Amino acid sequence: MNQDNISKLWRLRFEKVLKLEEDSFDYYQTLIKEKTRLLERSDLLDLIEEISRDEAKHIRIAKELLRLIADEKEKGGQKN
């Protein structure tokens, strides 16, 4: 498999990861917003907030990985 195809596969993978992480982040933020009192009573608010922060980190990582793939593709294109 050539390098261009490998890059495309990684890009697709990271785009999928990004979408899943964004959806998860949105879900947890909505949960916090709509169910704060219930989460506080059940001592889950801190955990859900921590999970939400982790999802935000994963979003940043996925975006960085996509940027690196794009940069690598650009560098590869300049060699030709």
- Taking only the tens place, the pLDDT of each residue in 22-52 is 999 999 999 999 999 999 999 999 999 999 9
CB count, 10 Å around CB of 44? 15
pTM for this predicted structure: 0.84
| Per-residue confidence (pLDDT) for residue 78, from 0 to 100 | 58
The answer to whether residues 73 and 7 touch, using CB atoms and an 8 Å cutoff, is yes
